[in-house]
Structure 1
Amino acid sequence: MKLSIVMPAYNEEESISETVDQIEAAFSKVNIEHEIFIVNDNSKDGTLKVLEALAQKYPAVKYETNLGPNGFGYAVRYGLERFSGDCVAVMMADLSDSPYDLIRYYTTMVEGNYDCVFGSRFIKGGKVIDYPWVKKIINRIANFIIRVVMRIKYNDTTNAFKLYKKEVIEGVKPILSPHFNLTIELPLKAIIRGYSYTVVPNSWTNRKYGVSKLKIKEMGSRYFFILVYCFVEKYFSRGDFKRK
């Protein structure tokens, strides 16, 4: 089963090489066919030149530039339309996600035949390193609200780092989110529409380079919109969108 990694990158010239080097170093120890599909989200720095060098260095690396519209959700959606694997993970370009966690996701999916594998940083075995405390408080409140509204036990829906089989990505379309609210749209739709999933611990490390693209003030209403959309689908659509 081929694994694709979709990685949005906007102005990540400082971190993208190290991120890819770490992934390739980890995957050199296991026998997993994979591709790293990097979406250059119209970067204004030297990201594109770095990607050209990475594609020369590693056969698994492929990249394209998303000319627009731009934004985290648009970039991920661009990659989700073009990856070639049987399953796909969304992974950050800023060294925050561990490739060893991704290998665990993949082996868990294969061994358990799950449709999705979700990570949680807030269960036994999970950890966060250098997480800004304001963001952590907002994260915990947001995930609590999602759990209550959607009546699910999963406690880290906003965690972008997840693995889906290809048929799940097809099954949750149309994907609406243009921004970071995509991180909750994909898993909530997968759960509502009846795809199987399991949760494993994962780690998260704050970026070493650059600045975070997540602007909390701008995202609140957008997360709320997607949450309401998923709530309405779950309780009022009479199962019209459930997998057949």
Structure 2
Amino acid sequence: MKLSLIIPAHNEEGCIEETARLHHSALTGENIDHEILVVNDNSLDNTENILKCLEKEIEEIRYVNNSPPNGFGFAVRKGLNNYSGDAVAIVMADGSDSPQDVVRFYKKLLSGYDCVFGSRFIKGGATYDYPKVKLLVNRMANFFIKTLFTFRYNDTTNAFKMYTRETLDGLRPFLSHHFNLTVELPLKAITRGYNYTVLPNTWKNRTTGEAKLKLKEMGSRYLFIVLYCLIEKWLSVGDYRKKLKS
């Protein structure tokens, strides 16, 4: 099973090369067939030049340019329309996600799951240098989602998740333009009956560049997609549920 890593990158000249190389090294070391697809999201710095050099040097790394408007959701959706693998994971350009976690999630996906979700807040998970205000908002938002949907998963907003191609195709069309895509994908997967498991993962704060998630801008967007998925759960009468193979 070929794995595609989608990495959205907007003005990430300080970290994108290291992130791509570390993930490539970890996957190559485990003999995992893979590609690393970086989506250059209208960067104004040296990000694209770095990606051009990486693409020439490493066969498994390639990049595409996202046409305006830019935004995390638009960039990931560009990647989801251009990846070549049988499974896909979304990985942050800033190095906050662990390459070793990618390997563990891939091996778990091979055991028959449609999705593997990460949680930083279960035994074995961890966060490093998480800003206190963002952490508080995160825990409140996840408790709200968990209560609404009556499941035990406690880190829905965690961007680090892995899906089979068949699963992602069953979640289309994608609606979110921004970071709320990280909530749309798992909520649709759960609501539509795709099987999943949860593994601990680690997250560390970026050491270079600027964080792209702006809490003040995202609250209503997160709420919109949560309520959209809740309405689907309540009123769609199973129209979008996973089709069982005969």
TM-score tier, shorter chain, comes to over 0.9
How far residue 25 of structure 1 moved from its aligned partner, in angstroms, is 2.0
Partner of 2:74: 74
Q: Structure 1, residues 32-66: CA drift from partner, whole Å, max 9, x if none?
A: 10000000001011100000011122110010101
TM-score under structure 1 normalisation?
Answer: 0.98
Partner of 1:89: 89
Partner of 1:186: 185
Q: Structure 1, residues 45-93: CA drift from partner, whole Å, max 9, x if none?
A: 1100000011122110010101222100000000001100000000000
Partner of 2:47: 47
Task: Structure 1: give runs of 5+ residues left out of the alignment.
Answer: none
Partner of 1:32: 32
Aligned-residue sequence identity (percent) comes to 56
Partner of 1:9: 9
How far residue 152 of structure 1 moved from its aligned partner, in angstroms, is 1.2
Residue aligned with 1:169, SS: helix
Partner of 2:160: 161
Q: Structure 1, residues 87-116: CA drift from partner, whole Å, max 9, x if none?
A: 0000000000001000000000102x0000
Partner of 2:122: 123
Separation in 2, partners of 1:65, 1:21: 19
Task: Structure 2: give runs of 5+ residues left out of the alignment.
Answer: none
Partner of 1:101: 101
Q: Which runs of 4+ in 1 moved over 6 A?
A: none
Look up the equivalent residue of 1:230 and give its one-letter code: C
Partner of 1:144: 143
Residue aligned with 1:222, SS: helix
Separation in 1, partners of 2:113, 2:61: 26
Partner of 1:199: 198
Residue aligned with 1:28, SS: helix
Separation in 2, partners of 1:197, 1:167: 13
Look up the equivalent residue of 1:165 and give its one-letter code: T
Look up the equivalent residue of 2:78 and give its one-letter code: Y
Q: Structure 1, residues 123-170: CA drift from partner, whole Å, max 9, x if none?
A: 000000110011000000000000001111100000001000001111
Separation in 2, partners of 1:138, 1:166: 31
Separation in 2, partners of 1:25, 1:74: 28
Separation in 2, partners of 1:109, 1:92: 20
Look up the equivalent residue of 2:102 and give its one-letter code: L
Separation in 2, partners of 1:27, 1:165: 17
Whether 1:23 aligns to 2:23 is yes
Look up the equivalent residue of 2:182 and give its one-letter code: T
Separation in 2, partners of 1:69, 1:83: 20
Separation in 2, partners of 1:175, 1:83: 15
Separation in 1, partners of 2:45, 2:84: 28
Residue aligned with 2:110, SS: helix
Separation in 2, partners of 1:72, 1:31: 30
Structure 1 window deviating more from structure 2 (95-104 vs 52-61): it is 52-61
Whether 1:234 aligns to 2:242 is no
How far residue 10 of structure 1 moved from its aligned partner, in angstroms, is 0.2
Partner of 1:210: 209
2:24·2:36 contact (CA, 8 Å) conserved in 1? no
Q: Structure 1, residues 179-210: CA drift from partner, whole Å, max 9, x if none?
A: 00000000000010010100000000100100
TM-score under structure 2 normalisation?
Answer: 0.98
Q: CA RMSD in A?
A: 0.6
Separation in 1, partners of 2:137, 2:167: 29
How far residue 121 of structure 1 moved from its aligned partner, in angstroms, is 0.3
Look up the equivalent residue of 2:224 and give its one-letter code: F
